[in-house]
Structure 1
């Protein structure tokens, strides 16, 4: 059984959502960032962390990639062109969307004008994503790790007052958030 370290309404939700999609059981310690518990599992005090058979893994995206690879689901096989395309999408989402939201949350009050720039960049990134979106999920007809990452970031953006999504992405987010595994992770 896995142990997830971190409060639900953080990036920890990404890991819990994937575990629910995989049908895996897990315990959760809802530690806050920089708490004694978080520091026990990550010297930086960041959450989430995942404990698996004595191994401690950190970073939500790294944990999701590990779980998807370990269970052979929600990912393309390593060493394939499809995996390279999936990894490119994941890295783009981290660089252009997650980093924008994080920078805004961390520094908006300290840097004059930053919030407006981050909102503009987010809107541009969402337009790019909408233009790239061609199927039911980001990588085609099957849900993959980038879908959880994108949906989590879109929800974060909405709750932080970022510009609204276009109709295509709103529909996608509604479908993602309607998944039983998403609701199970929120209730865990």
Structure 2
């Protein structure tokens, strides 16, 4: 097996059954990161980006960025990932949250691609699941609050290309939230 396959299999096995932040999420984040990089003509190390995208949420307990970076380091050493690339993977993972301040191309790509996955139809679905799984929502009003809170991640996007990709997702999300609020008035 190669390193990419090892990383993907580890992520799949570790988060088997996780709907909101499992292997599907990692695949979308990696795909979006590469799409952003290509359109933005960014230089990045694909090995670092891939590992960061597939390991950034590997630990679900808070503080998950810190815990995920530690788990990633341990796992990457175990599979003989290039030693000089482990610190950049950890750095990208540590700065992927909405309030993160990534300074590397891989970190910026992970940050923006991860935030894009909170928006649009995918974001609505993930956040509806997460409202119960992560935030212990008690009713639909709390789900709406979660959707509104994460809709604001648009303002944390760093790259213009990411904002372009988010524009239609924001329209979908805004329409959904309005419709849901209207239906809840019944």
Q: TM-score, normalised by structure 1?
A: 0.32
More strand per residue: 1
More helix per residue: 2
Structure with more contact order per residue of length (Cα contacts < 8 Å, sep ≥ 6): 1
Q: TM-score, normalised by structure 2?
A: 0.32
